Amino acid sequence: MIRQHPSPNHGPRRDGLLPRFVILHYTAMASAEAARARLSDPAAEVSSHYLIAQDGQILQLVAEHNRAWHAGAGAWHGLHDINSRSIGIELDNDGQTPFTRLLMRSLETLLADILHRWAIPPQNVIGHSDMAPGRKIDPGPLFDWPRLAALGLAAPANATPGTTDLTQFRSRARAAGYTADADDADLLQAIRLRWRPKATGPLSPEDIAVLPVSSGS
């Protein structure tokens, strides 16, 4: 069951755009109630379409046909104004602890409905860190992307040969969707947050190998 908690922080999608991406975030707040209050505070000027609490409760703050204010500056597959092109989901998590089983189950149900409703392909489910390298790190290294991929709700990791060539790294990253302005270090961090959260050190062949060859938009 989805509870309605309308937030005033929204507007119309620009230029007739429709949702083609889903952006996942974590709240980094003390509780879901604290996050709901902030996402509904006009002074904060932030919002999301949905907020999922640790106990699995789903709150809808903004109607899907409206433009919520969750993504900010960034790009994906060369596209900007991601707010007008996406549905934002905030997850009640502090970024330091695992996401609860009940939260993940509710997210999976909600995602399946959204992808079906708007004909969004799984590869267009991304993290805030994917579209804003260096600026955002959520939903963070503890988020279970492989679980979503196994259910057909996100892109799976690739397994093709890689090198440590920076030119190839940037080319493959751009083909996978990473088109926001970012230096090499921030881009590597964003890719590892999504695809190799336990990896450390300099660029390795695995950082390139894991990237989807082309996820489309």
Domain ranges of the chain: 2-150, 166-209
pLDDT at residue 215 tops 60: no
How confident is the model over 152-206, as pLDDT tens digits?
999 999 988 778 899 999 999 999 999 999 999 999 999 999 999 999 999 999 9
Q: What is the pLDDT of residue 217?
A: 63
Active-site positions read 90
Distance CA 96, CA 117 (A): 32
Structurally, what CATH architecture does the domain formed by 2-150 represent?
3-Layer(aba) Sandwich (3.40)
pLDDT at residue 214 tops 90: no
**Would you call 207 helix, strand, or coil by DSSP?**
helix
Q: What is the pLDDT of residue 161?
A: 79
CB-based burial, 124-159: b 16+ in 10 Å, e otherwise: bbbbbbbbbbbbbbbbbbebebeebbeeebbbbbbe
How confident is the model over 17-70, as pLDDT tens digits?
999 999 999 999 999 999 999 999 999 999 999 999 999 999 999 999 999 999
Q: What is the pLDDT of residue 206?
A: 94
This prediction's pTM: 0.96
Q: What is the pLDDT of residue 87?
A: 98
Segment 72-91 mean pLDDT: 98
How confident is the model over 90-143, as pLDDT tens digits?
999 999 999 999 999 999 999 999 999 999 999 999 999 999 999 999 999 999
- 3-state SS string over 54-122? CCCCEEECCCCCEEECCCCCCCECCECCHHHHEEEEEECCCCCCCCCHHHHHHHHHHHHHHHHHHCCCH
Segment 71-77 mean pLDDT: 97
